A and B are shown apart, each in its own frame.
Chain A
Amino acid sequence: MAAPSMKERQVCWGARDEYWKCLDENTDDASQCKKLRSSFESSCPQQWIKYFDKRRDYLKFKEKFEAGEFQPSKTTAKS
């Protein structure tokens, strides 16, 4: 399976950006963005979809972390 060309990459990134924009608008409610999700899935290799999903999770986590929403636990007891 050949690697995506530059054009194919750009199509994939465009679909991903559309999908993520929809998620941002709908506060990560995936059910509102089903059409964009299927467009995204058809534009990108499967491995890339998994990768981008993980990347989105990471970026969201990073946002929350930088906003200070995670506090270190006060005790050393295991949760």
Chain B
Amino acid sequence: MLLLTRGPMAWHRLSQLKPPALPGTLRGQALHLRSWLLSRQGPAETGGQGQHQGPRLRTRLLITAVFGAGLGGFWLALRAEKERLRQQQRMEALRQAAVGQGDFCLLDHKGQARCKADFRGQWVLMYFGFTHCPDICPDELEKLVQVVQLLEAEPGLPAVQPVFITVDPERDDVTAMARYVQDFHPRLLGLTGSTEQVAQASHSYRVYYSAGPKDEDQDYIVDHSIAIYLLNPDGLFTDYYGRSRSAEQIADSVQRHMAAFRSILP
């Protein structure tokens, strides 16, 4: 092929030469290729000009390539198996977490006992607060109710259960909770309980809360972390939403989680 670069004069000279005599020409190369293809299966009779080692080298290369491909395939299969095992272990861990993690047993605002297992099969939006809250809890609960209403308006979506859990069990008994939740949404469930039960529930969801100092009226404000928690129908904690998220943003996010949801429990 180098000869082609030497210009039209050289090419003219070359074209007058007999093709088989010069291995560098195009025709010579074509012949060489043909003989290689013919001789691929075994030792060569027409091994091409001066390439007696060719077929054996080619065969060796072919065998190496096949062997390499086999090894590669084997490695890929092992990797796939390892990945499958890892997924299986993860599923198992998630199943255990779904049942054990974030478990709580509390009283609802009608006096009925409710544990986390009672909410299986439902999407739950939870908020931790207290009834004596000046502004944040009512605002966040209004937002939560708006999210529930936005989702109710969408056809074909499962109903979301809104839940309000108190971090002030001293004052927020069943009656207080019933009085509080009625102002927001007919399906809003208020949950309360003993100090230990509330502590357990808050701990499960990493909710910080701390009662402030009491004034002359024995009134106090409870400082607490502010978030709306989303639980999926398997009871697994799925997402949380802070104060900066609007109702529309939360509703969008919940819808996306619903679309992506695959149950892992039997």
**Which residues on A are within 8 Å of B, measured CB to CB?**
1-6, 9, 13, 45-48, 50-52
Query: B104: which A residues are within 8 A, CB to CB?
Result: none
Interchain residue pairs A-B with the least CB separation, the first 9: A6-B183, A3-B131, A47-B219, A48-B134, A3-B132, A51-B134, A47-B221, A46-B215, A45-B219
Give the secondary structure class of B's interface: loop
Contact assessment for A46 and B183 in the assembled complex, using a CB-CB cutoff below 8 Å: no
**15 A–B pairs (Cβ distance < 8 Å), ordered by A:** A1-B219, A2-B179, A3-B179, A3-B180, A4-B132, A5-B179, A5-B183, A9-B138, A46-B215, A46-B219, A47-B132, A47-B134, A47-B219, A50-B215, A51-B134
Query: B134: which A residues are within 8 A, CB to CB?
Result: 47-48, 51-52
Contact assessment for A13 and B132 in the assembled complex, using a CB-CB cutoff below 8 Å: no
- Distance, CA A77 to CA B192, complexed state (A): 51
Contact assessment for B138 and A46 in the assembled complex, using a CB-CB cutoff below 8 Å: no
Closest CB of chain A to B109's CB: distance in Å?
13
- Distance, CA A51 to CA B135, complexed state (A): 10
Contact assessment for A13 and B176 in the assembled complex, using a CB-CB cutoff below 8 Å: no
**Which residues on B are within 8 Å of A, measured CB to CB?**
131-132, 134-135, 138, 171-172, 176, 179-180, 183, 215-221
With A6-B183, A45-B219 known, 8 other A-B pairs at CB within 8 A are A1-B219, A3-B131, A3-B179, A46-B217, A46-B219, A47-B215, A47-B217, A52-B134
- Distance, CA A1 to CA B168, complexed state (A): 14
Query: A45: which B residues are within 8 A, CB to CB?
Result: 132, 217, 219
Give the secondary structure class of A's interface: helix
Name B176's contact: one of A2, A6, A9, A50 (CB within 8 Å): A2
Query: B221: which A residues are within 8 A, CB to CB?
Result: 47, 51
- Distance, CA A45 to CA B221, complexed state (A): 11
- Distance, CA A73 to CA B105, complexed state (A): 52
Given contact pairs A46-B217, A47-B132, A3 touches B138 in the complex (Cβ within 8 A): no
Contact assessment for B216 and A46 in the assembled complex, using a CB-CB cutoff below 8 Å: yes
Query: A52: which B residues are within 8 A, CB to CB?
Result: 134
Complex: chain B residue closest to A47, CB-CB:
B219
Closest CB of chain B to A20's CB: distance in Å?
13
Complex: chain A residue closest to B213, CB-CB:
A47
Complex: chain A residue closest to B212, CB-CB:
A47
- Distance, CA A36 to CA B210, complexed state (A): 32
Query: B179: which A residues are within 8 A, CB to CB?
Result: 2-3, 5
Query: B135: which A residues are within 8 A, CB to CB?
Result: 13
Query: B217: which A residues are within 8 A, CB to CB?
Result: 1, 45-47
- Distance, CA A31 to CA B176, complexed state (A): 38
Complex: chain B residue closest to A10, CB-CB:
B138
Query: A46: which B residues are within 8 A, CB to CB?
Result: 215-217, 219
Closest CB of chain A to B176's CB: distance in Å?
6
- Distance, CA A6 to CA B176, complexed state (A): 13
- Distance, CA A2 to CA B179, complexed state (A): 10
- Distance, CA A9 to CA B138, complexed state (A): 9
Query: B216: which A residues are within 8 A, CB to CB?
Result: 46
Closest CB of chain B to A9's CB: distance in Å?
6
- Distance, CA A6 to CA B188, complexed state (A): 15
